[in-house]
Chain A
Amino acid sequence: MKNDIKPSEITPEATYHNRRAFMKVGFAAGAAVLTGAVYRHFNPTLPVADVAASSTAPAAVLPSEPNPPVVGGARTLLVPNTFEEITHYNNYYEFSTNKSAVAKAAGQFITTPWVVEVSGLVSKPHAFDMMDLLKIEQEERIYRHRCVEGWSMVIPWQGFPLKKLLDLVQPLGTAKYVAFETYYDKAQMPSGKYAGIELPYVEGLRLDEAMHPLTILATGLYGKPMPNQNGAPIRLVVPWKYGFKGIKSIVKITLTDTQPPTTWNKAAADEYGFYSNVNPNVDHPRWSQADEQRIGEYKRQPTLMFNGYADEVASLYSGMDLKQNF
């Protein structure tokens, strides 16, 4: 037998082990990168300041001099949250149920032209063009915003009292409630079918709540036109109620004599009532409403009765059992 393997052809033991070690480290690194990629797919980075809030809504002309507050509570003295915070943490289930994903998902939402149809028990039903609504004098309102989930913000809205619009259509004596409806377009809002709530989104107020000077139709925030994710081009803001009462992207306002259905109440009647006034003494069945997390802070704050607007609105509910009428 002749051995024809040259010594030089045999891999030295050390090299062999080094090579194996090198492959192992490479394999381990590859596996970690793969795990990281899977993690990143499910948890994209959420930079707070890189996505500009998009809006195709026309801008309102704000008076250069801020209006004197017309009503108590019109401007809270708290420091408003940043524009980035307000526009990157939104509940808008038509676009996404992930609050951090709404800003991007609503980026392409087309809101011009826009018409708000006001009808029902009124003397002068009218379909208002958004351009006409922006001719109503806009006011700045700095409101606390309290979400039913237990977090809160301070938001500098601009808009006008809902009362001004209702006065234009002249509600009949039989009108007792105001019903609202959000625009719903399956093509523009493909995620809507996974929202877990019935769409289009509907909301309602008692007529006296709707006529209250603190109740506004907001057309923008921070002096900018309303960002899509915040309910462009026009939304309701009722500062003493949980955020979900502030219906977004309104296309229909109807005056009725019966209490209108509301989306979250239809989804879970025992959890979300018609009134949904902010009340630290009435807990949500699954969590406490006694305190809240201010976005931007790390410690929970006590929740105030009627979200801090008790002086202005408590009289609307005198004699009512607020636990019964939650």
Chain B
Amino acid sequence: MRTAQQTLWFNKVLVFINALVPLCMLAWDGMHRQLGVNPVEFLTRIFGVLTLMFILITLAITPLRKQFGWGFLIKYRRMLGLFAFFYGCLHLITYIGFDRSWSLSSTISDVIKRPFIAFGMASFLMLIPLAITSTDKMLHRLGAKRWLKLHKLIYILAMAGVVHFYMIVKSDVFYPVLFGVVLAILLGYRVYAHGQKALPKKKN
């Protein structure tokens, strides 16, 4: 069993390192002034896209488990979800720092004024309780049933995130739509699986 433990630990390290690769490359590009003419916009966008990607990867775990019987994937879901939160924080810090000059009042009025910012902010705020309750201790404290119910927020925040992305582009909707399609498939699978479960078993 020790080797199984070791393998799990190794795989977790692997996921952890790979999740940080984009950040390291951004730092490298930043140091070499390779982030283009408008680094603020570039960083904000990449952090946002990474946040959405980790949300979608997190949501892909359950369909993959059910469809291919890869139960072991569940062991990595928490870390992936926390990386979504991590990049979400970086996205928000970049926006508040550079776009809003660290002004809380300006940020709040921006949320009120701009619907797309409101969608993004709502999405981020929903990530917070999920990150807080990600520990084993919190899971036990809440009880599995309530914990699962709370973490259903991921469906709503993922949708809000994709809408947020869609609303900022001017005409080139390719990537927002791509994210939307992937999300629709991942959520659609759950609806489908739920329907399959609800069907009465056929009597022979």
Contacts and interface: CB of A to CB of B under 8 A. Distances in A.
Nearest to B45: A43
A257 interface: no
Contact of A97 (B25, B98, B172): B172
B38 A288 contact: no
A300 B99 contact: yes
A162 to B, nearest CB: 26
B42 to A, nearest CB: 7
A52 interface: no
Interface residues of B: mostly helix, strand, loop or mixed? helix
A48 B37 contact: yes
Nearest to A40: B25
B135 interface: no
Nearest to A89: B37
B36 A31 contact: no
Contacts of B173: 196
Interface in B1-35: 10, 13-14, 17-18, 21-22, 25, 29, 32-35
Contact of A149 (B40, B46, B170): B170
Nearest to A21: B10
A195 to B, nearest CB: 7
Interface residues of B, number: 35
Q: What is the size category of the interface that chain A forms with chain B?
A: 35 or more
Given A24-B10, A295-B38, A286 B167 contact: yes
B29 A45 contact: yes
Nearest to B29: A45
B196 interface: no
A194 B174 contact: yes
B64 interface: no
A90 B33 CA distance: 18
Interface of A: 24, 27-28, 31-32, 35-36, 39-40, 43, 45-48, 84-85, 88-89, 93, 97, 99-100, 149, 151, 194-197, 267-268, 283, 286-288, 293, 295, 298-300
28 contacts: A28-B13, A28-B17, A32-B18, A35-B18, A35-B21, A36-B21, A39-B25, A40-B25, A43-B25, A45-B34, A46-B35, A48-B33, A85-B37, A99-B38, A100-B37, A149-B170, A151-B38, A151-B41, A194-B172, A196-B170, A196-B171, A197-B171, A286-B115, A287-B116, A288-B110, A293-B99, A295-B37, A298-B40
Given A45-B32, A85-B37, A196-B173, 7 more contacts: A31-B17, A32-B21, A36-B25, A40-B25, A93-B171, A97-B172, A288-B110
